Structures are given as structure tokens and as C-alpha cells.
Structure 1
Amino acid sequence: MKIFGHRGYALRYPENTLVSFQAAVDAGADGIETDVHLTRDGVLVLTHDEEISRVSSGHGLCKDMTYEELLALDFGSWKDPRFTGERIPTLDQLLDLLEDTSLILNLEVKMGFPYYPGIEEKLLEKIRARNFLSRIIFSSFNHYSVAKIKALEPAALVAPLYMEALYEPYHYAETFGAGAIHPQAGLVEKSIVDACHEKNIAVNLWTVNRTEDALKAQDLGVDAIITDCPLELITALRS
């Protein structure tokens, strides 16, 4: 079972920053999960919320701000003063960090409110240009968005995110060619995992932070867990 760092190493570092991503790499994570938005001037940036006040020194919507405006803000001190000066990363910066590793990158496309016209095309253009397609999982709560990515690039691995029980999610995933499902932890049982695997559909759970939940996921045969505390779970499960 693979262990992915949720927003990097979000338990101990300011989420979705380069220091958090590097910490997940250093912890030995198999992959990194992050969230991608589009700025007003078309730059792909990584942060979770559409509105940035929770994790930065500013406020406003990503879609209404230029990259330079976002870059002027502090994205680290909210977590701890020692992270003062951490900036919002671009997708390119994270790809640079991962380029010489074998880590998988799970990109959650933020496509609820607000709406980012053309973000799927822009993401695919970037990922193809950087030769990262085989290492990317595109996920989203907006299933139209991941279905669009799959239609635009049949080789893309896409996964619907969901937080309520789906009836026979393996059949649902097949309707648009999803190669994985990303349910909230607790929404699957072994029969679902087994049925997914029979159809070559991976099951990746979020967000698993307790050792007992990670062990349960492992017993179910889950393919990966997404966690805020990669080092702690790697140590507990692989020691």
C-alpha cells in the first residue's frame, strides 16, 4: 500500500508549500497530493482553498489575483513563525522538486466554485511538456472535470473524489474511464475494493491519519492512502 503526503506533510508544515512537499519527499512518501488553481493571469498555483485568507497573510480569491500578487503574500507563518516567508508554489516548482524522484503526483483540480475555464487543457499542456503524464493522478470532486481530462488525453489516469457513499463505484468509474476512485476513508469495504481490482481500478483513500485506520485500509487491500502525517504512518506500517 502506497502512502501519499496530503498537501505535502500537512501535519507539521504549512500545507501546499515547497517546504511541506520537500518534507514529504524526505519522509519517504510514495507520492504527494496537492490542489491546483488558476490565477487571473493564467498561472497554475498550488493551494487548497479558493479564498486564501486561512493559509496566507492576504485575502481574496485565487481567480481574482495575479501570480505576482499572490507571490507577495506569506503562506507559512500561519502554521508557525519559523515558516515565515514561505510563498505560494507553482505547479512548475513542484514538478522541478519531483523530477529526479519516482514519486507519484496527485493533482486535485479545484473546479467547484469558482470556475476555471480551460484549466484541464492548461494542466495537460503543462504535464505533457514536462513529460510527467505517467506519474500523475488527476482527481476532483467535479467529476465533469476529470471526465474532460480523460476525453482530452486517453492515457491520463483520472479519479473521482467523493465523500458520500457511491453505489457500485467501480461501474461509475468505468462510465468515463477512471483508473482509480478516491473515496473518503470509511466509505469502502473489501467487496468494493475487490470489485474495483477486478476491473483494474485502484482505490486510494483520503484522509487517513490514524495508525489503526491505516492498518484497516491495508487489510482491505487499498492501493494507497493519503495522509497529513506521512512519516508517522510510514514508521508505523513499515518499521
Structure 2
Amino acid sequence: MTKIFAHRGSSGTHPENTLISFAESVRIGVDGIELDVHLTKDGELVVIHDETINRTTNGKGLVSEYTVAELKTFDAGGWFSLHYEQETIPTLTEVLGLLTELDYQGTLTIKVKTDQKEYPGIEETLVRTIKNKDWPFVVNYSSFNLVTLQRLAELDPVTPKAWQTIGSVVTIAFANYFTAIERIEPNFSWFIQSEAELIELEKRVCPWTVNSEPEMWMCFERKVAGFHTDYPAQAIKLRQRYEREQFSFV
């Protein structure tokens, strides 16, 4: 069965990378949740996509220029809807706590955002946080940055890892060689042009970001391991329809 990952939570219906977005993902029954982490000025992991807070908060500047307490003063939901203006940038610890409280039992993919900015020690901080306790859900790591993935493999060889990539023929060849990863997550626009190459890929494939129903249906038809979507509730309903139609032909 093709698994459905909520991209930054249910980010098509709620402000991305917020507690409300992750809670909605659990409520609708997603197979996986994907989020992004950066490191603050005081060395804490916070969940936000960009290197700056400009796009998704009412503040300005780099995440790394602020402490957690300072970041908590910004509105991280009002840009999406005034209904969510009380949402703040969550710490990774807060998200882990929320998912535990909600008894989430799917997969949590933590993407380490070191592709644009280097955060010394971020891999060690992440592994220490994850290994601090046993979680009711499965944790995966992902990154665009191959150096980060190699560091994570050395620090934590057990937790599965994925390489997120724009995609190319070279990517496919290297992905089969790169033993640090179990999964490759290509951009969907590349994925749809690369069926022949992907058949030869030994790693599991989980494209991003798959938002239209024809794109979702294509993923079901190609039987990919999973895909990331901003609209996980819509994807779940479509998968149910796809499975009913497949069953009707048996």
C-alpha cells in the first residue's frame, strides 16, 4: 500500500509546521508526518521550513538569530488565516510530546534543513533528542544534504534515512550506491519523467509534493512506497477509492 505523508503536517488546510497542523494529520489518520528542523541561537531544534521566519511568521530574520523564547513571541499561523494567529513556532520536543499525547503510531520524518545553512552540531542534537526516550511512532531522518545524512548514519545507524532531491540520472545512480539511506524522495516533476529509471532503483521511492488527484492516482498506479502531500485527507479518500476499484476487478 502506498503510504501518505502529511507534508509539513496538513499544510494545505492548516498553517504548515504548527502543532494544529500536526494534530489534524493525526486526526485524519495519516501514515506519516513530515516536518523540518532548524537550530536556534540557544541550540534548540525548532520546527519551521525556511532558514528565515519571514514567510510564515510576522517577524523577520534568520531562525539562528533568535532564542526559542524570542521565536515564541511571533505569530506563526496568522499568515494562513486569522483563525490560527495564536499558533507559534513549535520546538521539536513540543511536537514529539504532542504526537505521544495523541498516541500517534505512524511514521515521523524529520527533515534536517542544512541544504542552505550549516548548523554546527544539529545532527548530534537531533539524535540526542530522539534517543532520549522510546516513542510510540517510528522516526525517520531526511535531508537534501548528503553530508548531514552521512553524519546521521554515523551517529545513529539504526534510524532509517531518506535523501530528498530535485532529481537527475546521477541522483539515481548515486542513491543506489549511498548506503546511508533507505529511501529516496524525488521532486514529483522529476518523478513523472523517470519511470524507467525508477524501476531500476533499489531504494524505496517517496516523491514530493503530490497535490492533485491525477498525481496521487499516478503514485498509486506506480505503487511507490509513499508520497508527500499538502492535502493528506484528500489523498486518503482517493486511496480508498483506488483500492475499491482495484478490488472490484478481482
TM score, norm. by length of structure 2: 0.89
Equivalent positions of 1:134-173 (< 5 A) are 135-167=138-170, 169=172, 171-173=174-176
Gaps (5+ residues) in structure 2? 242-250
Match of 1:130 in 2: 133
Structure 2 counterpart SS, 1:37: strand
CA contact (8 A) 2:220 2:239 kept: no
2:212 matched residue in structure 1? 210
2:30 — aligned with what? Answer: 29
Q: Which residue of 1 aligns with 2:237?
A: 235
Range moving further from structure 2, 160-169 or 8-17? 160-169
Q: For residue 146 of structure 1, give the secondary structure of its aligned residue in structure 2.
A: helix
Aligned partners of 1:221, 1:107: CA distance in 2, in Å? 23
Label 1:171 to 1:60 Cα distance change in 2 as closer, same or farther (>3 A).
closer
Gapped regions of structure 1 (runs ≥ 5): none
Question: Any idea what the Cα deviations from partners look like across 1:90-148, whole Å, max 9, x if unmatched?
Answer: 11111112222211011110102321001001100111113249712211111110111
Deviations 1:7-54 (A, max 9, x none): 101111110000011111112111111100110001110001111011
CA distance in 2, matches of 1:107, 1:207: 16
Secondary structure class of the residue paired with 2:4: strand
Q: Is the 8 A contact 1:193 1:222 kept in 2?
A: no
Q: Distance in 2 between matches of 1:173 and 1:151?
A: 19
- Cα pair distance change 1:133/1:192, threshold 3 Å: farther
| Structure 2 residue 200 is matched with structure 1 residue 195 | yes
* Superposition RMSD in Å: 1.7
Distance 2:204 2:90 in 1: 29
| CA displacement, residues 131-187 of structure 1 (integer Å, 9 cap, x when unaligned) | 249712211111110111012211121111111313362653432321000101132
Identical amino acids, percent of aligned pairs: 34
Runs of 4+ in 1 over 4 A off after TM superposition: none
Partner of 1:82: 83
Instruction: Say if 2:98 is the partner of 1:110.
Output: no
Q: Secondary structure at the match of 2:227?
A: strand
- Alignment-derived partner of residue 71 in structure 2: 70
CA distance in 1, matches of 2:154, 2:195: 30
Question: Offset at 1:191?
Answer: 3.8
Provide the C-alpha distance between the structure 2 equivalents of 1:46 and 1:109, rounded to a whole number of angstroms: 10
Q: Give the match for residue 247 of structure 2.
A: none
